Structure 1
Amino acid sequence: MNHVLCGLAANTALPSELVDRLIAVADADIAADLADRADLSHAQAIALAARVEETAVRLAYEGRLTAADVDPVAQPYAALALLDERAGSPEWARLFAADPVVERREKLAACSDLPPDVTETLAADSDVRVVAELALWTTPEMAARLAGHPHAEVRRGVAANEATPPAVLAALITGEGLPPAQWCLVCDREETPFVHDPLCPRIDCDLRSGASCDGSHESTVHEMQQMALWNPATPTEAVVGFADHPSTLLHWALAARRDLPVEVCGRLAVDPRPGVRADLAENPAIDDALIRALAADRGHDVQRRLARNPHVPLDVLTHLVGATKIGSTLLPRIAVASPAEVKELAESPNPTVRMLLAERRDLPTEIRDALAADPDAKVVKSIAPHPGLSEAQLRAMVDRHGVRVVAKVAANPDASPAMLEDLARHEPPVQKALREVARHRNTTAPSLLACLVDKQARLIAAGHPALPPPVIVELLADDDWRVVEAAAANPSLPRAVMSVLVP
């Protein structure tokens, strides 16, 4: 891989004529960076697609190629991408429906708005993988037909399809009204009973880990049930019975549903597996009484996940903050707190509560300023990146709390060039602060030069346009290939140098 050319391909200041020269020599890596360019012309996109087909697929998905630009025989995957985007020719769909390459028929089956005759052809395909892929993405009418398919893998696809009619989904997981499946991927290939070794040494084996069949296609049926439980279109009345099912995976899927009746939530709340209770705790469907019951649950991750529930009462949240490690993150309940609740949280005697409030970036000025002057360093760390703080306030934070807040102060979008330079030269040095300084929009050359001493900050600084051009050129020979790419992508790299570097 030529890291200099990859970096140049991503350089926003690269002149158009040099883009043309890069396209002429591009390999897959360079082409991937070129495809990201916002200034890539239509003609350049066509030339790039002709050179590297993987890039043609990406350009097709991004709408930078049209049907007139693609030859479905020479560029089949780009043509399939256009079909997937509803921008291809119906004749292409008919061509691919008869394609001898199974993978292409599979990709076609995942496309929407296919001509009816193509859908019928795919539904009758000799390879079950194609039919299963169609089942996953097809229309309600075809999904209803495929629900009775004799192969369990196809039914699994129907169960995951959100367009499948609710009554059909209910029939799939109850078995009522449908004939039993006759085959699955396991009994297609192995003599039953058979359990697939998760550490299977066969290189050509593509059975899923743990797949098994004793004649009832049990692993595929179990997966079908799991898909249906995750599917929001599956009726509530069809899923509630799984609260008594022994499968952990099915309980996890059930606990995440937003339509569960209170009594089902209550049964899941006493599930012996803490992972199920943790999923339930974050579910907005649970009521106040269950929230308060789960607040006392010391099972792994239950209280932390409950703290992320958008409906958790503030008094419960305050308890949870003291009972489990939340971390400095904006919790959903705090993000929607009313002005009165914001004031209440700001006055909490618990500094962790104040820290969590300080993660909001839309606080009233008076509350923001009060938190900026908080005596607890973790509160100040959370508020330090808040926009609107003055330089005096930011410097006061560093004076009071030192290295504990330097990195967060450096992340403030309003930090001045002079302050960033002071932070970059802070003693003792703070590595995280150097990284923040290196990416800051207000950073100047002296600050960036100070950042080069840190390995991670050096990588960021190499791409900053304020870095002096001679230093950028030096970094093109750096030992770290990531620094080389970042330097080559720096828009302040002299054009004369770019021209020499491009073949």
Structure 2
Amino acid sequence: MNHVLCGLAANTALPSELVDRLIAVADADLAVDLAGRADLSHAQAVALVSRAEESAGRLAYEGLLTAADIDPVAQPHAALALLHEGAGRPEWARLIATDPLVEHREKLAARPGLPSDVVEWLAADSDIRVVAELALWATPDMAARLAGHPHAEVRRAVAANEATPSPVLAALATGEGLPPVQRCLVCDREETPFVHDPQCARLDCDLLPGASCDGSHESTVHDTQHAVLRNPATPPEAVIGFADHPSTLLRWALAARPDLPTEVCGRLSVDDNPGVRADLAENPAIGEALIRVLAGDHGHDVRRRLAHNPNVPLDVLTDLAGDARIGATLLPRTAAASPMEVEELAKSPDPAVRMLLAQRRDLPAEIRDALAADPDAKVVKSIAGHPGLSEARLRTMVDRHGARVLAKVAANPDATPALLEHLARHQPPVQKALREVARHRNATAQALIACLADKRARPVAAGHPALPPPVIVELLTDADWQVVEAAAANPSLPLAVMSDLVLQL
């Protein structure tokens, strides 16, 4: 891979005539970057897809290709891309439906709006992968038909399809009302009973770890039930019985459903597995009474996930703040706090509570400034990214708390060029702060040059347009390929250098 050329292909300042030169020599890697350019013309898009068909998906998505540009026989990937965007021709679908390559038929099966005769052909395909892909994206009528397919893999795909009718999903949950399953991927390939070794060393084996079949196709049936439980179109009354299922994975999937009845939530709240209880704790379906019960559950991750529940009462949240390992994140309940609750949280004697509030970026100026002057570094670190803070306040934060807040101050959108230079010169250097300075829109050349000394900040700084052109040119020969690509993509790279690099091809 030529990293200089890949960077140039993404350079927004590259002139159109040089883009043409790159298209003329593009391989699959270079085509990815060229296809992402916002200034490609229709003619350039056609030339690019003829050179590297892998670029067709992006070009079709951007509306740069038309049906008249594509030969579906010579460019099946491009034809599939246009069909996916609704810009292909029906006869293409009929052509690809009989393609000897399974991969092409499988991709076609995922395309929306296929002609009805093509759908019928795909539903009867000899390769189960094609039928399963069709089942995953099928319309309600076809999904209902495929729910009775003799192969378990097809039924599993129907179970994951959100267009599948609710009564059909209910039937898939138990198998009742459906003809018996006859085959699965395991018994297609192995003599039963068979359990796939998770440490299987066969290079040609693509069975999932633990896949098994004793004649009942149990692992795929289990996966089908799991898909039903995760499908939001499944009616809750069809899955409540899984609250006592012996499979932890199925109870776990059930616990995350936002439509659970109160009684089922109560049964899951005493589940033996803390992962089940943790998913339940974050579920907005649980009521206040159960929230308060789970607030006393010290199972792994239960209290932390409860803090993320949008319906957690404020007093419960403040109790959780101190020891639930919530971290620096904006919680739904904090984000939704009323003006009166915001004032209450800002006055909390617990710095962990003030830290949660400080994650908001829409605080009134007086509360924002009060938190910026907080004596606790965790609070200051949380508020440091809030817009509207003056340079003087940001400098005071750094003076009082040093390296602990440096990176967050550097990420503040209002950090001034002078402040960023000051942060970049901090001794000892703070690596996270240098990376934030390197990507900041206000970073100066002096600040960026300081960032180049850090291994992880160097690629970021190399792509910043404020970096001096001679430095950018020097970075084109850097030992780190990420730095090279970033420098080549830098719009401040001199035009003469761009021309020399491309014209040498």
So what's the TM-score if we normalise by structure 1? 0.98
Which range is displaced more, 414-423 or 225-234?
414-423
Amino acid at match of 1:365: A
Amino acid at match of 1:437: V
Which range is displaced more, 228-237 or 431-440?
431-440
Counterpart of 2:376 in structure 1 is 376
Q: Does 1:270 align with 2:270?
A: yes
Amino acid at match of 1:500: D
Q: Is the 8 A contact 1:284 1:311 kept in 2?
A: yes
Q: Is the 8 A contact 1:9 1:22 kept in 2?
A: yes
Amino acid at match of 1:346: A
Q: Is the 8 A contact 1:230 1:254 kept in 2?
A: yes
Alignment of 1:120-269 (within 5 A): 120-269=120-269
Q: Is the 8 A contact 1:377 1:401 kept in 2?
A: yes
Q: Is the 8 A contact 1:50 1:56 kept in 2?
A: no
Q: Is the 8 A contact 1:99 1:105 kept in 2?
A: yes
Amino acid at match of 2:244: D
Counterpart of 1:339 in structure 2 is 339
Amino acid at match of 2:317: L
Counterpart of 1:26 in structure 2 is 26
- 1-structure distance, mates of 2:444, 2:428: 21
Counterpart of 2:105 in structure 1 is 105
CA RMSD of aligned residues (A): 1.1
Counterpart of 2:490 in structure 1 is 490
Amino acid at match of 1:394: L
So what's the TM-score if we normalise by structure 2? 0.98
- 1-structure distance, mates of 2:436, 2:172: 53
Amino acid at match of 2:198: P
Q: Does 1:74 align with 2:74?
A: yes
- 1-structure distance, mates of 2:392, 2:322: 33
Counterpart of 1:291 in structure 2 is 291
Q: Does 1:399 align with 2:405?
A: no
Q: Structure 1 stretches (4+) deviating beyond 6 angstroms?
A: none
Counterpart of 2:61 in structure 1 is 61
How big is the shift at 1:465? Answer: 0.7
- 2-structure distance, mates of 1:472, 1:129: 49
Counterpart of 1:300 in structure 2 is 300
How big is the shift at 1:303? Answer: 0.9
- 2-structure distance, mates of 1:53, 1:495: 29
Amino acid at match of 2:264: V
- 1-structure distance, mates of 2:390, 2:181: 69
Deviation string 1:260-312 (CA, Å, 9 cap, x unpaired) is: 00110111111111111111111111111111111111111111111111111
Q: Does 1:90 align with 2:106?
A: no
How big is the shift at 1:62? Answer: 3.3
Deviation string 1:97-147 (CA, Å, 9 cap, x unpaired) is: 111111111111111111111111111111121111111111111111111
Gaps of 5+ in 2: none
How big is the shift at 1:181? Answer: 0.9
1:413 partner SS = coil
- 2-structure distance, mates of 1:98, 1:428: 66
- 1-structure distance, mates of 2:84, 2:214: 38
How big is the shift at 1:455? Answer: 1.3
1:49 partner SS = helix
Q: Is the 8 A contact 1:439 1:460 kept in 2?
A: yes
Counterpart of 1:385 in structure 2 is 385
Which range is displaced more, 223-232 or 196-205?
196-205
- 1-structure distance, mates of 2:203, 2:37: 39
Deviation string 1:452-485 (CA, Å, 9 cap, x unpaired) is: 2111122211111111111111111111111111
- 1-structure distance, mates of 2:494, 2:6: 17
Counterpart of 1:328 in structure 2 is 328
2:497 partner SS = helix
How big is the shift at 1:323? Answer: 2.3
1:385 partner SS = coil
How big is the shift at 1:448? Answer: 1.3
Counterpart of 1:468 in structure 2 is 468
Q: Does 1:11 align with 2:19?
A: no
How big is the shift at 1:243? Answer: 0.6
Q: Is the 8 A contact 1:97 1:108 kept in 2?
A: yes
- 2-structure distance, mates of 1:79, 1:101: 14
Deviation string 1:15-39 (CA, Å, 9 cap, x unpaired) is: 1111111111111111111111111
Counterpart of 1:314 in structure 2 is 314
1:456 partner SS = coil
Q: Is the 8 A contact 2:36 2:58 kept in 1?
A: no
Q: Is the 8 A contact 1:242 1:254 kept in 2?
A: yes
- 1-structure distance, mates of 2:454, 2:301: 35
Amino acid at match of 2:405: V
Q: Is the 8 A contact 1:236 1:259 kept in 2?
A: yes
- 1-structure distance, mates of 2:478, 2:123: 56
2:371 partner SS = helix
Amino acid at match of 1:283: N
1:33 partner SS = helix
Amino acid at match of 1:271: D
Q: Is the 8 A contact 2:398 2:406 kept in 1?
A: yes
How big is the shift at 1:391? Answer: 1.1
1:455 partner SS = coil
How big is the shift at 1:63? Answer: 2.6
Identity over the aligned pairs, expressed in percent? 80
Deviation string 1:227-285 (CA, Å, 9 cap, x unpaired) is: 00101111111100011101011011101101100110111111111111111111111
Gaps of 5+ in 1: none
Alignment of 1:29-44 (within 5 A): 29-44=29-44
Aligned pair in 2 of structure 1 residues 61, 209: CA closer, same or farther (>3 Å)? farther
How big is the shift at 1:406? Answer: 1.7
Q: Would you say how many aligned residue pairs link Structure 1 and Structure 2?
A: 503
- 1-structure distance, mates of 2:457, 2:213: 54
1:181 partner SS = coil
Alignment of 1:413-452 (within 5 A): 413-452=413-452
Q: Is the 8 A contact 1:152 1:182 kept in 2?
A: yes
2:293 partner SS = helix
